[in-house]
Amino acid sequence: MDAATSFSTAPAVFDERILTREARLGIVGLGYAGLPLAILFADAGFPVTGIDLNEERVGWVNERRPYLVDVPRERYDAAGDRLSATSDYAAVSELDALTICVPTPLSKTRTPDISYVVGAAEAVSKQLRPGQLVILQSTTYPGTTLEILLPILEAGGRKVGSDFFLGYAPERVDPGNKTWSVRTTPKLVAGVTEECRRRTEAIYSQIVDTVVPVSSPTVAETAKLHENTFRAVNIALANELALMCDRLGISVWEVIDAASTKPFAFLAHYPGPGLGGDCIPVVPHFLAWRLREYGYSAQLIDAAHEVNASMPQYVVQKVSDALNESGRPIKGSRILLLGMAYKAGVHDTRESPSLEVLRQLLMRGGEVSYCDPWVSEVELDETIHRRVAWGPEAVDAADCVVMLTPHRQFVDEPLWDRARLVVDTRNVAPPGPHVWTI
């Protein structure tokens, strides 16, 4: 097939290349969302090119070296030689369709940073070919696809829906989840035009079980934010319930278990040391920030943030109370933290509340160490902290053990009885006079 036919804008040609697996696909950004997506497309039979400016990550992909918990070596083997990676955006010119999966972090002032999205879009625009489908998957504020990406890609007189096609399909990945994967989680898709949406749906229907089309990219962008905001607000409610139950002298865990017996109109959420990851603590602020431009204050989002952000301080106070009860201050006490990752079974420490607990305990003079089978070291305030091995020696040496992230290793090899004191933020330690819970 010659280049002119290969890059035809005709729907029939596009559909044929998808069905025959001749379509060449690209994934821009090979992180937690991008790499699993690239692997899944390659596993489905498509030639896939991953594009990432991180040369080390590119090398790992080409060497089939695992670096994410959801992409072990056997996943690379399933993809075969259909997957390759490069740091050169010139590869875009050879693709039929590509998905942008770059980060969208939150600034210190709680405003969205879409510089990675803009940079990727500008680089793609320079290589854009007739008939190409560009899909944004990065989580972002409502209007990004239409107001930011579309003008960049239409530069030079190109017209969406005829010269190229633009869609939005938000990621819904839950790292470490053994039940819901990229394939089994329904995929929201939208397009700037009807044909943009149709092509986006055609691409993703090859790798996911259920595709859910919506009317516009802005609807899809907002739906993604609502999903994470729902979690953030309900976790904040559980965290505030923990604070209230603490004052009432009752167990928040028993209260939630009791409420969970209601067979309708209740969905259990549980307290913890705070929120972590790159979605739930972050993306609700995208929505709040965007709505301020319309003169609307998202008060519930702001209130939920305040509650969730206060939890590390509450945990530190629990540690202080537990140590004081045994006649020790935090200063000079040996404190062992269990878990630096933000959730069990992953090595991701982004926004992890464990880091803030570590910081505050160090500031109070504690001699703090940590165990985490997934995280070998963390950098905090320009200092590297390295893990210690989970085992009797670490527990015996500690004046207080603090459960923060319930990795299976901690639960399957419990050493609670050896600990002098336990502060349990996850309700995994058996009750005892030396166990303090939130």
The pLDDT tens digits of the residues spanning 46-99 come to 999 999 999 999 999 999 998 887 788 888 888 889 999 999 999 999 999 999
The pLDDT tens digits of the residues spanning 367-390 come to 999 999 999 999 999 899 999 999
CATH superfamily of 239-437: NAD(P)-binding Rossmann-like Domain (3.40.50.720)
Q: Which are the catalytic amino acids?
A: 279
The CATH code belonging to domain 3-215 is 3.40.50.720
| pTM (predicted TM-score) | 0.91
Q: How many CB atoms lie within 10 A of CB 341?
A: 26
Q: For the residues of 268-316, what is the DSSP string, one character each?
A: -----S---SSSTTTTHHHHHHHHHTTT---HHHHHHHHHHHHHHHHHH
- What is the pLDDT, as a whole number, of residue 107? 81
Domains 3-215 and 239-437 agree in fold: yes
Average pLDDT of the segment spanning 101-116: 89
CA 92 to chain centre: 26
Residue entry with tokens 């007189």 = 157
Of 189, 243, 199, 196, the residue nearest 220 (C-alpha): 189
**Tokens standing for residue 231:** 């979690």
Domain definitions of the chain by residue range: 3-215, 239-437
Distances (CA, A) of 206 to 26, 240, 290, 307: 15, 43, 33, 42
CB-CB contact of 114 with 140 (8 Å): yes
Of 212, 424, 176, 211, the residue nearest 322 (C-alpha): 424
Average pLDDT of the segment spanning 183-210: 97
Considering the chain, what is the average pLDDT of its residues? 94
- What is the pLDDT, as a whole number, of residue 5? 42
pLDDT class of 9 with cuts at 50, 70, 90? confident
Average pLDDT of the segment spanning 296-315: 96
